[in-house]
Every structure is written in C-alpha cells, then in structure tokens.
Amino acid sequence: MSALEESQSPTSVDLSDLEQRAKIFAALSDPTRLRIVELLTTRAEMSGSEVAHHLGISLALFCHHSKILAEAGLLQIRREGQTKFNSLNEALLRECFGRLTLS
C-alpha cells in the first residue's frame, strides 16, 4: 500500500437512523460549513489550506468546521505526508437529500 492514509470517516452511514440524519443536517446548518460543502462540490479534493484560502477564513476555523463535517460522515479526509486532503462523501449527500423528495 502507498504512503497515503485514509481517514476513519465512514464512507456510508445508515440513514435509517434518525439521529444520524439529524447530525448530518445539524452539520449543514452552519453557513461556513455550507460554504465548505458547496466549494468541495466543485473540486475532487482540496487541502485545508486551499479551502481556507478560497473562503477567506483561517485554517483553524476550517479545521473546526471540517471536524464537524467529518464526524457527520460528510467529509472524507486523506492524509499525504503532513497534508490532509478533503473531499465530500457525495453518496451520503445524495442519499440523505434523496430521502426528502416528495411523492
């Protein structure tokens, strides 16, 4: 295996669990976290420094918000050396929002 390290963020979360879905929506309820998610929809992955720079926020603030997004399963983090690369768990987003469609 390469020197790359995959984070322990879940790639799939059982969305039948209401508490988990509430955690996902709570993570998305903050404007800064929504901006992070929207930015990452335009890129395959970005380092924390890149995200912070694009959004005009400090790296520390990005780290705070990325932890919440990762704990909800929305953000996947890959480490390469000392750099952490962030990407969205797009399958989880699709599944979560897909449950909200009205019949």
- Cα 102 to chain centroid, rounded: 26
The angle that helices 18-27 and 59-71 make with each other, rounded to 10 degrees, is 160
Instruction: Please tell me the pTM assigned to this model.
Output: 0.78
Tokens of 70: 């990762």
Structure-block tokens of residue 61: 């603030």
pLDDT digits (tens, 9 = 90+) for 26-72: 999 999 999 999 999 999 999 999 999 999 999 999 999 999 999 99
In a domain, 49, yes or no: yes
Residue 98: predicted pLDDT = 75
Task: State residue 14's pLDDT score.
Answer: 56
Q: What is the CATH number of the domain that holds 60?
A: 1.10.10.10
Split into its structural domains, the chain has a count of 1
Asked, for residue 7, whether it belongs to a domain, the answer is no
CB within 8 A of 92, min separation 6: which ones?
A: 11, 12, 13, 15, 24, 73, 74
Domain that holds residue 49: 17-96
Q: Is residue 2 part of a domain?
A: no
